[in-house]
Structure 1
Amino acid sequence: MRFTVADVFAGCGGLSHGFVRTGLFDVVLGTDIDERALDTFVHNHSKHGSNPVTVSGDIRSLPPSALAGKLNVFGLDHPGSLDILVGGPPCEGFSQNRRHEVILPGGKRTFTRNPLDNDDARNDLFRYFLALVDILRPRMVLIENVPQMVSSRKGATVQEIQRTLALIGYHTEWRILLASDYGVPQIRRRAFVVAWQDSIDGFRWPEPTHGKEKPGVKSRLRPINTVKDAIADLPPAAKAEAGRGGVSRYRKTRSAYAKAMQSNIATPMNHVARTPGEMVLKRLRAMRPGMITSDLPPELLPKSHYYNCYGRLSWDAPAKTITKSCNYLGSGCFGHPEEDRGITMREAARLQSFDDDFDFLSGSEPHVAKMVGSAVPPLLAAALAEQIAKALDT
């Protein structure tokens, strides 16, 4: 049995791609303010037999009832006919900026954080999402966001979500999940809210599948996937986009993760190396895995910076969080473990658990970085989707 899923604030479709990868869901709708990201969304979902309707631009210009009406072409024309509505309302208003290191007079260093902006208008987009739930009355709901959503307004945001959904007959739970616990080779925490109607016989959160072994304790968990597991099999990075190549160009690997990501058709697109500027290259060459920016020699130390920018990833550990600025070494730990370059966008996609058949349709590297870094890791989404499918099947 296959279920229907509509994806609001979809971006390139990482969340719904995870649902599709289970083989249990068909995507019927995608919305995003970024029209080019929706091109990627449609292109990749069409490979799996879905033909979703898309709506680009700021959906606040479209009444929720009109957006719901877009599903009529699929016969989903009455409340309760859609199986699940998923979405990640833009999170910039919830996000807490990473630590900046500032050099004070006299050479003293300090870390600063910008406070949460609880007055950001984008925080209200979750209310539009809730209004859409009220009209569609899907059997289940999944909301994804940064962990700060749970603490936003001292917890008032998730309480408002729970209270609003309870008034229209939904049970609600939320949890912060760590992507590396589900096979994603990356330290990334995301908040999820799951809601279901009374007709659904409950929902069980997915159990972790990967973790560190404890001395003397037998564990069923598989080892955490590392950067080496994720990207070491990829062909050498190209100087310019050359399209797909033969699968024989993959390097040999024992990594089950890499084998699961590889294409049976051809090596992937978006695997292009960009040469950093002279000063950035000097900083990167001075870095070793595990070093942070303050470990740089004084002559290479920026006056103000993120605490782990210009850092190198470690072969033997999962990546740090892949962000929408993952193409820029000055924005985080995005340096290749050995080579004097940043990670390619395909390497970033691998670290996000996008398989190699997933194409990012943009000629702009910053735009591809935004699509990759803003997405929900599909492998984490798939773990949730499998549990949601079990609940829907009751």
Structure 2
Amino acid sequence: MKYKLIDLFAGAGGLTTGFHLADFESLCAIEVDKKALATYKHNYPGAKIVNEDICKVNPRELRQWLGLQSEELTVVIGGPPCQGFSRNIPAGCRSLDESRNQLYKTFLEFVEEFRPIYVVMENVPEILNAYKGIVRYEITKQLESFGYKVASASLNAAHYGIPQTRTRAFFIASLDKTPCFPKPTHSEEKSMKQLNLFDNGISSIVTVRDAIGDLPPLDAGQEYSEDNYPSQVNSIYQAMMRSESTKLVNHVARALSPVQIARVRVLKEGQDAKHLPPELAPKKHYSGAYGRLYWDKPARTITRWVFHPGSGRFFHPTQDRTITIREAARLHSFPDKFHFLGTYTEMSSQIGESVPPLLAKAIAKCLIQDCH
């Protein structure tokens, strides 16, 4: 029998995908973004879909519609929008009273109504210390008032086999035992003996080469449209990503402007805007902007702006283009069988705004196993 979940603020389904990989089944997803929800529905056709502002959804009516009793659901998962806590917003512009900073309370209303055995809420790392820790305290105390035992922490995706150094915060709550977080499984340290944190048997960190080295080369603006994979796998990660997939989809490279093409052509692997000649250098730029990925390191955080080379290190390590949708999905740990729908920028947002599925899988497995 599969474990049951509902996904609030579901997006395209990053959290759901990780939980599915751990043998959970999605009963329902709530998401206001119609395009992201179309991708979710395509990949999880058995789930009931609610395309609505979650503030307009009545938790009790939803529970009754799903035919669930209190404490019958295994887990409520979700990532309330986090822009108000993000470090990308200047501190002077943040306000705890803003509506976008209050959506975690809506999430908790659904928890109170459903009383699932477990709760997993994801957010930006800053939420743990935002406003002098008030938000973390409020979430913890509210869950405890419902009868849950609660733990919270930030996790680096690269420590769990994802080829990306993305850090996210998680609140995990349980009705029946003190929750714990999964132990790291991968390390960037060459000498494991230097790390007391890691057990023997820890794997080396997954790199960009491990993740996308098997995918066929493309030019900017080109799409791979063959029916099969043109090459064999050359890493365990690639084999895992290809599992249950017979056709390579979403391997499409965005067209670039003449100046963007000129910039990428003069950059070598790992170089970025600061290595551009004066005639091609932008007047202002982010750290890592117009950067090529390193083959033998994980990617930095894949954001919704992955389609724009000026927004981060999103150029392919050696080919003269930005990474494709499938390459971004691979770096985010979406399996190849997961298909994205929409325009290039819409699909970029769906990836960048989601939780890496393998990180969600690690948490899901920890819920249902004795991980002490």
TM-score (norm 1): 0.87
The verdict on how the C-alpha distance between 1:205 and 1:242 changes in structure 2, with shifts beyond 3 A counting, is same
Matched residue SS, 1:157: helix
**Contact 2:150–2:178 under 8 Å retained in 1:** no
The verdict on how the C-alpha distance between 1:370 and 1:244 changes in structure 2, with shifts beyond 3 A counting, is farther
> Counterparts in 2 of 1:156-195, with a 5 A limit?
156-195=134-173
Matched residue SS, 1:192: strand
| Residue 370, structure 1, aligned to residue 346, structure 2 | no
The range that moved more, 281-290 or 3-12, is 281-290
| Residue 89, structure 1, aligned to residue 75, structure 2 | no
| Residue 135, structure 1, aligned to residue 113, structure 2 | yes
| Residue 297, structure 1, aligned to residue 280, structure 2 | no
Aligned to 1:341: 321
Q: Which amino acid aligns with 2:21?
A: R
**Contact 2:75–2:116 under 8 Å retained in 1:** yes
Q: CA deviation at 1:14?
A: 0.7
Distance 2:51 2:92 in 1: 31
Pairing partner for 2:52 from 24, 38, 57: 57
Q: CA deviation at 1:116?
A: 5.9
Distance 1:292 1:115 in 2: 30
Pairing partner for 2:265 from 280, 285, 288: 285
The verdict on how the C-alpha distance between 1:135 and 1:262 changes in structure 2, with shifts beyond 3 A counting, is same
Cα-to-partner distance string for 1:200-221 (whole Å, 9 max, x where unaligned): 1332311111103444829421
Pairing partner for 2:204 from 177, 201, 223: 223
Distance 2:132 2:265 in 1: 43
Distance 2:179 2:6 in 1: 19
Unaligned runs of 5+ in 1: 99-112
Q: Which amino acid aligns with 2:293?
A: L
Distance 1:7 1:124 in 2: 18
The alignment covers a number of residue pairs equal to 364
**Contact 2:222–2:255 under 8 Å retained in 1:** no
Matched residue SS, 1:298: coil
Distance 2:137 2:192 in 1: 41
**Contact 2:155–2:169 under 8 Å retained in 1:** yes
Aligned to 2:197: none
Distance 1:329 1:228 in 2: 19
Q: CA deviation at 1:148?
A: 1.0
- Show structure 1 runs of 4+ deviating over 6 A: none
**Contact 1:289–1:337 under 8 Å retained in 2:** yes
TM-score (norm 2): 0.92
Matched residue SS, 2:87: coil
| Residue 7, structure 1, aligned to residue 7, structure 2 | yes
Q: CA deviation at 1:240?
A: 5.0
Identical-residue share of aligned pairs (%): 40
Cα-to-partner distance string for 1:108-137 (whole Å, 9 max, x where unaligned): xxxxx6656234321111000111111111
Aligned to 1:144: 122
Distance 1:143 1:169 in 2: 16
Aligned to 2:20: 20
**Contact 2:217–2:319 under 8 Å retained in 1:** no
**Contact 2:307–2:322 under 8 Å retained in 1:** yes
Q: CA deviation at 1:361?
A: 1.6
**Contact 1:7–1:31 under 8 Å retained in 2:** yes
Q: CA deviation at 1:244?
A: 5.8
Pairing partner for 1:207 from 183, 186, 204: 183
Matched residue SS, 1:304: coil
Matched residue SS, 2:42: helix
| Residue 331, structure 1, aligned to residue 299, structure 2 | no
Q: CA deviation at 1:300?
A: 2.1
Aligned to 1:245: 227
Distance 2:92 2:285 in 1: 17
> Counterparts in 2 of 1:37-116, with a 5 A limit?
37-46=36-45, 51-72=46-67, 76=68, 78-97=69-88
Q: CA deviation at 1:242?
A: 5.8
| Residue 354, structure 1, aligned to residue 345, structure 2 | no
Distance 2:119 2:245 in 1: 35
Q: Which amino acid aligns with 1:234?
A: L
Aligned to 1:110: none
| RMSD (Å) for aligned C-alpha atoms | 2.0
**Contact 1:118–1:152 under 8 Å retained in 2:** no
Distance 1:338 1:185 in 2: 17
The verdict on how the C-alpha distance between 1:242 and 1:301 changes in structure 2, with shifts beyond 3 A counting, is closer
Aligned to 2:363: 384
Aligned to 1:103: none
Distance 2:27 2:180 in 1: 25
**Contact 2:182–2:363 under 8 Å retained in 1:** yes
The verdict on how the C-alpha distance between 1:244 and 1:205 changes in structure 2, with shifts beyond 3 A counting, is farther
Aligned to 2:103: 125
Pairing partner for 1:274 from 254, 269, 272: 254
